[in-house]
Amino acid sequence: MSNNQKKRNFQIEAFKPKEVVDPKYAEKTWKILENAIHEIYNHIAGGLNLEELYHNAGGLNFEELYRNAYNMVLHKFGEKLYSGLVSTMTLHLKEISKSIEAAQGGLFLEELNRKWTDHNKALQMIRDILMYMDRTFIPSNHKTPVHELGLNLWRDNIIHSSKIQMRLLNTLLELILIERTGEVINRGLMRNIIKMLMDLGPSVYQEDFEKPFLEVSADFYRVESQKFIESCDCGDYLKKAERRLNEEIERVSHYLDAKSEAKITNVVEKEMIANHMLRLVHMENSGLVNMLLDDKYEDLGRMYNLFRRVPNGLSTIRDVMTSHIRDTGKQLVTDPERLKDPVEFVQCLLDEKDKYDKIISLAFNNDKTFQNALNSSFEFFINLNSRSPEFISLFVDDKLRKGLKGVSEEDVEIVLDKVMMLFRYLQEKDVFEKYYKQHLAKRLLSGKTVSDDAERSLIVKLKTECGYQFTSKLEGMFTDMKTSQDTMQGFYTSHGAELGDGPTLAVQVLTTGSWPTQPSVTCNLPAEMSALCEKFRSYYLGTHTGRRLSWQTNMGTADLKATFGKGQKHELNVSTYQMCVLMLFNNAERLSYKEIEQATEIPSPDLKRCLQSLACVKGKNVLRKEPMSKDIGEDDVFLVNDKFTSKFYKVKIGTVVAQKESEPEKQETRQRVEEDRKPQIEAAIVRIMKSRRVLDHNNIIAEVTKQLQSRFLANPGEIKKRIESLIERDFLERDNADRRLYRYLA
């Protein structure tokens, strides 16, 4: 049969049913159908089922109704059938509307919901009966299909009826308000009514409910947020805002259109957060700064999650955090109290960094932009203090000398990684290198370094950070240490026999340039020692031709065996200078400052320092001084302290170490750094000009600065001076036409 369907229309027209002869046919048939529609409505309203009706009133026979409708359409009475349907249904809906209007108070929504369910049922039955019309007449005449027609009529006669429209809206909004104040409402009923509005089409839902709902909500939250902000602290306010937000989301999921979620949350976000953002952040005693100070991870996390919902929310938090970190950091690095102890100072920085790292990871979702803000803040304030590089190096020195004793390897790595992180913030990395070299040299030469592995690991880290050039000299220092060991072994195997019981010597041969050596005035070594040194010199020069060996007496150490007045024996661990001084007392009871200076030729500041540590430090005062005072004067006289006692056999007499550099030393280091920068700047200029040939002044400055950034921040004035110097030496020339242009001369 299906293969014949295509021709159906033609077949039907060819067929003339017999009923068509009755002129009242249409009227009669419509009456039957109209009746049926009435009955359907009445029935459903009466709560009866159709079977009862069937028994009571002759019943509704689907086939009969269908056949009648079918025949009406077939006999070209489709229009009559359709308009009849519209007017009959309208009639019923007007009735229904009245009954809904009559419902009192709380029953209103219930009645509306019940009638809606009824109407839907009736509508479906009517559609089933009129299916043939729906299938043929309606599409070809461009009418609204039965089901949609039923919904439209419902909308026009019920929802948009003057007595229902506003009442419905107000009832719904009222219920939501009640729910917002914390009472329970019938959510099932709400869901049904809202569902009805959505079934009637998105425009009905939006116009008749959603729009006013959003407006009322905005008013509600505007008032509420004002109340909260006057009475709550920041943390509580955010808690309340968060709860409101979640309530609205929950409301949407229970009985609103899912598409409303974004809109209503937007309203809450705007009214409760965006409008009060600055006030919240800066709230006294409880705002963002206080949260940061007190590590309130939960509150901070809440703030982050709420603020990220609104435009500029996160940048507001970030800006406040940045300026707070900068301020506290600035205080930290400029506080003269802090500057007294470099180790403490760096530890403070690390603690600060840890604190914010933790906040960002716990509360700020590890947000990259926050991490960047943190980094730039640290970079900002660390470089405010020109001594930061020195202090960081001192911190490492402290850790590598003693701090890492008994600490596991992983922990060492963690500390070193943290230091590297601070190092990265430094703009003047070359200053750090200078100090690091000095400190490393001291560590190596005095054998104070705790862990070779840790030392090397740090150098590897520096190398990955700044490249080979940065660490080549540092590595050279390690190599020298190793070679010296071998040399000493060689020296003692060849000379061991002839040296006998005399003093032993350990020499570290340092490559000039790799080490931060100062051209030092050699002091006069005791006779025993200088003889030994001479032997070593001839041994060394014998094996290595063409080298020069000079003694750095200011950097060595010595172990002395000493017997005091009552026969108590001690081993004294002293510096080379101190040894020279003490050895003098083998041949003399008392010596004046002048005599000592003459005999040893130690530079005066060093001598003073070394005498101070020999005579003035309690518990280690192997010498006695006349007059007794804290400082060394030119006229002082020194004697061996026969009453010297110590619990320990070995006594270590440190020079009064200049942990931090004194002001003139600092200036000196600074000057050396500046000197070292000159060739680097020149090299950078030449490199750039070689590839660019011609470049104007501003661009050179920019490029040079960029190239040197990883080591230090080049001063434009200095760059200009270097350019002048290169011009003088015929590496560059100024362009004849444009004086701002430079040309490379090769």
Partner 1 sequence: MKKEDTVKLISAEGFEFVIDKKAAMVSQTIRNMLTSPGSFAETEHGEVTFPEISTTILEKICQYFYWSLQYASGKETEFHIEPELTLELMMAANYLHT
Question: Contact residues for partner 1 (CB under 8 A)?
Answer: 1-2, 4-5, 7-8, 11-12, 14-15, 40, 43-44, 49-51, 54, 59-63, 66-67, 70, 121-122, 124-125, 128, 131-132, 135
* Nearest approach, Cβ of residue 59 and partner 1 (Å): 5
Per-residue exposure over 604-643, b if at least 16 CB sit within 10 Å of its own CB, e if not: eebbbbbbbbbbbeeebbbbbbeeeeeebeeebebebbee
Residue 4 or 587: the one with the smaller Cβ distance to partner 1 is 4
Residue 2 or 181: the one with the smaller Cβ distance to partner 1 is 2
Per-residue exposure over 701-726, b if at least 16 CB sit within 10 Å of its own CB, e if not: bebbbebbeebbebeeeebeebbeeb
Residue 37 or 607: the one with the smaller Cβ distance to partner 1 is 37
Residue 129 or 614: the one with the smaller Cβ distance to partner 1 is 129
For residue 556, give the amino acid letter: G
Residue 5 or 104: the one with the smaller Cβ distance to partner 1 is 5
Q: Is residue 322 a contact partner of residue 359, using CB atoms and an 8 Å limit?
A: no
d(CA 309, CA 314): 9
d(CA 25, CA 22): 5
Place of tokens 């010498």: 623
- CA distance to 102, 112, 198, 450, per residue, from 107 (Å): 9, 8, 22, 86
Residue 69 or 314: the one with the smaller Cβ distance to partner 1 is 69
Residue 130 or 477: the one with the smaller Cβ distance to partner 1 is 130
Q: Is residue 533 a contact partner of residue 612, using CB atoms and an 8 Å limit?
A: no
* Nearest approach, Cβ of residue 123 and partner 1 (Å): 10
Residue 51 or 250: the one with the smaller Cβ distance to partner 1 is 51
DSSP code, position 714: -
Angle of the 162-180 helix axis to the 234-255 helix axis, nearest 10: 140
d(CA 402, CA 397): 9
* Nearest approach, Cβ of residue 278 and partner 1 (Å): 59
* Nearest approach, Cβ of residue 234 and partner 1 (Å): 57
The alpha helices in 520-588, defined as continuous H runs, are 527-543, 576-584
Q: Tokens representing 190?
A: 């709400």
Residue 128 or 417: the one with the smaller Cβ distance to partner 1 is 128
* Nearest approach, Cβ of residue 153 and partner 1 (Å): 19
Residue 7 or 405: the one with the smaller Cβ distance to partner 1 is 7
Handedness of CA 700, 702, 707, 712 (dihedral sign): positive
* Nearest approach, Cβ of residue 119 and partner 1 (Å): 13
Three-state SS sequence of 637-666? EEEECCCCCCCCCEEECCCCCCCCCCHHHH
Q: 288 Cβ partners below 8 Å, 6+ apart?
A: 234, 280, 281, 282, 300, 303, 317, 320, 321, 324
Counting Cβ atoms within 10 Å, is residue 500 exposed (0-12), middle (13-18) or buried (19+)? exposed
* Nearest approach, Cβ of residue 152 and partner 1 (Å): 21
Residue 15 or 648: the one with the smaller Cβ distance to partner 1 is 15
As beta bridge partners, residue 625 has: 638
* Nearest approach, Cβ of residue 26 and partner 1 (Å): 18
- Would you call the peptide bond into 627 cis, given omega within 30 degrees of 0 as the criterion? yes
* Nearest approach, Cβ of residue 370 and partner 1 (Å): 59
For residue 668, give the amino acid letter: E
Handedness of CA 544, 545, 546, 551 (dihedral sign): positive
